[in-house]
Structure 1
Amino acid sequence: MRLLLIRHGQTPSNLKRLLDTAEPGPGLTPLGQRQAAALPGALAEERIDALYASTLLRTQLTATPLARARGLDIVVRPGIREIEAGELEMRGDEAAITTYLTTALAWAAGDLDRRMPGGESGLAALSRFDEVVAEAAAGGAESVAMVSHGAAIRMWAAARAGRLDPLEAADQHLDNTGMVVVTGSPADGWRLERWDSRPAGPRDPAPHHEGPAGEPLGDA
């Protein structure tokens, strides 16, 4: 299966550089709406048999133009929602952002018992994402798009795509509507095919306006 992991469009909390992970979460900024509208064109050459989004509003709004263009229903699943920030929720200071990203990338390196302060463990976060991927694979689709979140995508791809070292994921950014593509299966494993850091649509030129979940750890 070919799996397209797409980060949602820009949100107001991205502009403020806040760790905003609670449901239902914010909608999209005007720029985020334009980014979402650009997805059908950016993915015109991609086969997409099924389209998933998380339970957070921003992913569903980002997926809607693509769903309409392809005549697909959006399958909403909580398993691909953002990593819960716990006690760090709605903080935007450097200490909180560094703790959040360091914890998520420690999970990718195998430290699954480690917990986000006041939040979930790595095992819980990785397992819930795995469950949605397994569901999509079991459905028989050859190519699946999942609109998810910056930290969740980076963590899962680093943990599951064999050729991607967690340290590489720490150095990589993933802008709003950026995309990570992996191929494989839950049984045979996954291989990183492409990491498109830049957005499918327009980009905000201001630094950090893609929000903390998608920025390199060194920028935090």
Structure 2
Amino acid sequence: MRLLLIRHGQTPSNLGHFLDTALPGPGLTDLGVRQASALPRALAGEDIASLYASTLTRTQLTAAPLAAERGIDVRVRDGIRELSAGDLEMRADEDAVRQYLTTAFGWSAGDIARRMPGGENGTEALARFDAVVAEAAGAGERSTVALVSHGAAIRVWTAARARNVTVGFAAEHRLENTGVVVVEGSPASGWTALSWAGTVVPGVTASGAADAGPAGRTLRGPKQEPPAGPPSD
């Protein structure tokens, strides 16, 4: 099957680079509304069988124009919500962002027992996203399913599950608002990333530094400890 992993449109918190992950979250900016409105045309070539959004307001607002254009319902699922920032919620300082990224990237690299301060661990975060993907896979192996989710959740899950995406690649390649990662496969056979925000993903990607902030800001200063997983929202 084919999965379209779509990041939500721009929010006020994105402009301030805040770690804004709690329910229900903010709505969209004027630009975010325009980005959501552009999705049906951008995905005109995709035969989407079903459409999912997270429990956060911004993903449902982003999915609405696509749902209306296709005449399909949006299936709201908590499993594809953003990676919880826990005690780091609504912080925008570099120390907090770096800690969030290092923890989340660690999950993709296999350190799934590591816990976000005051939040979830990698086992919990990946399992809830996996559960929604498994549900979507029930639509059939030839189907295309769109999941409107969040930057960090998409990058972390893709780096953890797609055989050709390394932590370094996911860390270096930010996903802008309404950017799309396309993967193909199944829960049983595994996943291969076909494209990342319009760029073809190499068969085997090279490692890189994890210095892209989850809210779209590039971090300055020393590199993080060896990236152990990939995030970004």
TM-score scaled by length of structure 2: 0.86
User: What's the CA shift for 1:103?
Assistant: 1.0
Distance 2:218 2:50 in 1: 32
Name 2:155's counterpart in structure 1: 154
TM superposition outliers: structure 1 runs of 4+ over 6 Å: none
Name 1:123's counterpart in structure 2: 123
User: What's the CA shift for 1:33?
Assistant: 0.2
Name 1:207's counterpart in structure 2: none
Distance 2:58 2:33 in 1: 10
| Unpaired runs of at least 5, structure 2 | 200-211, 222-233
Percent identity over paired residues: 63
Distance 2:139 2:45 in 1: 22
Moved more, 167-176 or 182-191: 167-176
Distance 1:219 1:48 in 2: 40
Distance 1:214 1:191 in 2: 25
Deviations along 1:114-171, one digit per CA (max 9) or x if unpaired, are 0111100000000000000000101326000000000000000000000101111111
Query: Amino acid of the residue matched to residue 144 of structure 1?
Result: V
Distance 2:167 2:189 in 1: 20
Matches within 5 A, 1:198-217: 212-213=213-214, 215=216
Name 2:176's counterpart in structure 1: 175
Name 2:99's counterpart in structure 1: 99
Query: Amino acid of the residue matched to residue 176 of structure 2?
Result: D
Query: Amino acid of the residue matched to residue 38 of structure 2?
Result: A
More helix by share: 1
Distance 1:170 1:216 in 2: 12
Query: Amino acid of the residue matched to residue 100 of structure 2?
Result: Y
1:112 and 2:112 correspond: yes
Instruction: Find the residue that maps to 2:52 and give its secondary structure.
Output: strand
Deviations along 1:150-194, one digit per CA (max 9) or x if unpaired, are 000000000000010111111110000001000000000000100
Distance 2:54 2:45 in 1: 24
Query: Amino acid of the residue matched to residue 56 of structure 1?
Result: L
| Unpaired runs of at least 5, structure 1 | 199-210
Question: Do the aligned residues in 2 keep the contact of 1:88 with 1:96 (CA within 8 Å)?
Answer: yes
Name 2:82's counterpart in structure 1: 82
User: What's the CA shift for 1:218?
Assistant: 4.9
Instruction: Find the residue that maps to 2:214 and give its secondary structure.
Output: helix
Q: Count residues with an aligned counterpart.
A: 208
